[in-house]
Amino acid sequence: MPEQFTDSAKQALRLARQTARACRHSYVGSEHLLLGLLKEPRGTAGVLLREAQVDQKKLLELMDRLIAEDGPVTVKERDGYTPRARGILENAWEDARLFGSDRAGTEHILLAILKDVECVAARLLHTMDVNLQQLYGKILDIMGVTDERYRAGDPADYPDFEQADQKQPLPDRGAGSGKNRYCGGTCQKNCGGRCSRAPAE
């Protein structure tokens, strides 16, 4: 998979894995991808996230309050991505190909995150009062893609932002026992990382 991404995107993925280890998470989820994008200074996604007032420190604090740590971390099983995060990366690559790029950049990864309105990263952005639809539109503008053209590419993939807006932000369950915090997607039950801590299946 690495050869399918730009150098900036590869660096963002490395930063995502480092973030997972620093957070003591034994997996790399969409929330780590988001932080990796934010930490990569050269990437388009990081520029757009910072313009949207997404603060790295605040995002880390929010993750710390919402997502349980796993203890000593060894990222295993291929590259350690959750099924949801892997799906996001695959969708990023497909979007890049759809619009004539031979490699996916950070903007394609962020676009794929925003398309998956149920993923932890998108929910975290919503919790931080980021306008997902506006951010989505800015990415398309930078890519030189009209909204109509993207819908024409695959209408079924167009994100349901109205549904996302109707969702409540992730409630703060507080730091402390992992049993009272979110799984971060490791339960693999398509919960979007919102269910209580559960072992990976």
The per-residue pLDDT for range 111-123, each reduced to its tens digit, is 999 999 989 999 9
Query: 36 in helix, strand or coil?
Result: helix
Amino acid 201: pLDDT: 24
Q: Which fold does the domain 2-180 belong to in CATH?
A: Double Clp-N motif (1.10.1780)
HSE, side-chain direction, 13 A CA sphere, residue 178: 13
Q: Where are the domains of the chain?
A: 2-180
Amino acid 162: pLDDT: 57
The per-residue pLDDT for range 140-156, each reduced to its tens digit, is 888 887 766 665 555 44
Global model pTM greater than 0.85: no
Q: Give the model's confidence band at 63: pLDDT under 50 very low, under 70 low, under 90 confident, else very high.
A: confident
Burial classification of residue 119, based on how many CB atoms lie within 10 Å of its CB (0-12 exposed, 13-18 middle, 19 or more buried):
buried
